[in-house]
């Protein structure tokens, strides 16, 4: 029996040429820190991860650590050819082991509901793009829009 889809917005694989007219892997380096529930200040040092996919209000990344559902995160997304990372905040929605249990090192995929990009709330930025026939947001623009500029040679 197939599981019911729980996602609010669809996911775009990084090789979906039809939507973004790109045919390359856009996995990016991600640094993240847990935030205190009350203070919303970083609790510990940076952890490294690799992004897997994004949506209008979410991000999935792979790391060596299992994160607790409901944990608040501060994320830095590193885009090739950009001088500064894209800063985001979000909440862990799920984290699951994706590696072989026989291996000595575990890998975890973690899904994050993003709350802000560079201090800007995400919810008000979500809209349907008539030209491309997709749901779009500041999340997608900040990551995929930059790649579009890079491919056109306009992002220096």
pLDDT at 126: 93
Position 14 pLDDT exceeds 50:
no
pLDDT higher than 60, residue 16: no
Question: pLDDT tens-digit profile of 37-81?
Answer: 776 666 667 888 988 889 999 999 989 889 999 999 999 988 877
- Residue 42 has a pLDDT of 64
- Length of the chain, please? 156
Kindly state the average pLDDT of the residues 131-139. 82
pTM of the model: 0.73
Q: Which domains does the chain have, with CATH numbers?
A: 27-152 (2.40.10)
Structure token pair of residue 95: 């984290």
Dump pLDDT digits (tens) for 76-106: 988 877 888 889 999 999 999 998 777 767 7
Contact call for residues 82 and 97 (beta carbons, < 8 A): no
Judging by beta carbons within 10 Å of its beta carbon (0-12, 13-18, 19+), is residue 119 exposed, middle or buried?
A: exposed
Question: Virtual CA dihedral for 114, 120, 124, 128, nearest 10 degrees?
Answer: -70
* pLDDT at residue 1, as a whole number: 58
């Amino acid at each position: 029996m197939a599981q019911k889809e729980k996602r609010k917005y669809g996911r775009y694989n990084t090789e979906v040429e039809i939507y973004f007219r790109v045919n390359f892997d856009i996995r990016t380096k991600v640094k993240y820190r847990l935030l205190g529930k009350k203070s919303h200040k970083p609790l510990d040092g940076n952890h490294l991860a690799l992004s897997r996919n994004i949506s209008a209000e979410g991000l999935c990344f792979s790391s060596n650590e299992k994160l607790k559902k409901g944990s608040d995160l501060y994320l830095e997304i590193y885009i090739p050819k950009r001088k500064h990372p894209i800063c985001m905040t979000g909440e862990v929605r799920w984290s699951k082991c994706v590696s072989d249990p026989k291996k000595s090192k575990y890998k975890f995929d973690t899904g994050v509901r993003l709350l802000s990009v560079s201090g800007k709330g995400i919810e008000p930025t979500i809209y349907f793009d008539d030209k491309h026939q997709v749901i779009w947001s500041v999340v997608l623009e900040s990551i995929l829009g930059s790649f579009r500029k890079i491919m056109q040679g306009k992002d220096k």
